[in-house]
Amino acid sequence: MLQQPPLIDPFARAITYLRVSVTDRCDFRCVYCMAENMTFLPKKELLTLEELDRLCSAFIGLGVRKLRITGGEPLVRRDILTFFRSIGRHLDTGALDEVTLTTNGSQLERFADDLAAAGVRRVNVSLDTLDAEKFARVTRWGRLGQVLSGIDAAQEAGLRIKINTVALKGFNEEELFDLVDWCASRDMDLTFIEVMPMGDLGNEDRVGQYWSVRDVRARLEERFTTVDLAERTGGPARYVRLEETGQKIGFITPLSHNFCESCNRVRLTCTGELFMCLGQEDMADLRGPLRAHPDDDAPLAEAIRAAIALKPKGHDFDYSRQTPDGQVSRHMSHTGG
């Protein structure tokens, strides 16, 4: 692959990380992510797996070093393993540093060995509670035992697991230390995420759900000694180490701390829309040039560069006035987290 000049946005940030939603569909209906009776995109609007591969390869040719595959739930996309196996060629050549996955864990028991064989080494599993009844309530359709079995299978396959937990006021506050202890016992890192104002979820109270991750950290420091880590992924997480357990804890704080100054990522949807910022509505259509020029990647690369030139400085999420200011209309499952 011919390497081209890197992608640099208007604020001198190099874009080296692409998050790719391969489907908007999911087998859960988490209350902060989507409505229970979701209307999903018609399947004919989705890019084929071959088209997704071509788009990802174009980004890799422009300097992207990391792909994260998301959804919806990526592992419910039919024949998704063919995509992982194909994109793995860029790992073999060294053009790509890693392919990672964010999942709800429901299908991990089925796919863990094959994912590892395709070159996946790290998986983020979204898990907000260890209580089976509460898990069923927050996911609406999910079963905790299925996810825990998936985590077991992933670890047995040699995959490194990180747990992502959305901090939800009045829901998992009492489980804070249980989650930390459980992750420590399994040698898993843990990241807490503030709930973000995305999508119209009907009766869900965004402000009422909001539990500041600053408060989460303060609670942790009642029991643990935290040491700030210099580690940066270019993304939103800030990390500490708990001295007593040695584990790494991440905090993603789109509301209590705007994390955009070092943003190195963009998000590609399963329909070929490129969102330059999770918290803004602006997007670029890449499906058009992709399909209009099936044998020429130059117009696609040009369209990608034009989109990156429009990347904003940051998002506008804000709950400080007790309203979900900066809310964007699309659901998280559409953008891909």
User: Does the annotation flag 68 for ligand binding?
Assistant: yes
C-beta of residue 208 within 8 angstroms of C-beta of residue 169: yes
User: Does the annotation flag 266 for ligand binding?
Assistant: yes
Is residue 7 exposed (0-12), middle (13-18) or buried (19+ Cβ within 10 Å)? Answer: buried
CA 264 to chain centre: 14
User: Does the annotation flag 66 for ligand binding?
Assistant: no
Task: Say whether 327 sits in a helix, a strand or coil.
Answer: coil
3-state helix, strand, coil split of the chain in percent (to 5) is 35, 20, 45
User: Does the annotation flag 56 for ligand binding?
Assistant: no
Give long-range contacts, CB 8 A cutoff, 24+ apart: 286-295: 286/55, 287/47, 287/51, 290/47, 290/51, 290/54, 290/55, 291/51
Is residue 89 exposed (0-12), middle (13-18) or buried (19+ Cβ within 10 Å)? Answer: middle
C-beta of residue 123 within 8 angstroms of C-beta of residue 101: yes
Secondary element (H or E) of residue 85: helix 80-87
Which residue's entry shows tokens 């908007």? 24
User: Does the annotation flag 93 for ligand binding?
Assistant: no
User: Does the annotation flag 33 for ligand binding?
Assistant: yes
User: Does the annotation flag 19 for ligand binding?
Assistant: yes
User: Does the annotation flag 102 for ligand binding?
Assistant: yes
C-beta of residue 16 within 8 angstroms of C-beta of residue 234: yes
Amino acid at position 171, single letter: F
Rg (CA), the chain: 19
User: Does the annotation flag 139 for ligand binding?
Assistant: no
Distance CA 117, CA 275 (A): 30
Residue length, the chain?
A: 337
User: Does the annotation flag 283 for ligand binding?
Assistant: no
DSSP 148-196: HHHHHHHHHTT-EEEEEEEEBTTTTGGGHHHHHHHHHHTT-EEEEEE--
User: Does the annotation flag 277 for ligand binding?
Assistant: yes
* Residue list for the binding site for [4Fe-4S] cluster: 26, 30, 33, 260, 263, 277
* Residue list for the binding site for S-adenosyl-L-methionine: 32, 72, 126, 196
* Residue list for the binding site: 19, 26, 30, 32-33, 68, 72, 102, 126, 162, 196, 260, 263, 265-267, 277
* Residue list for the binding site for GTP: 19, 68, 102, 162, 265-267
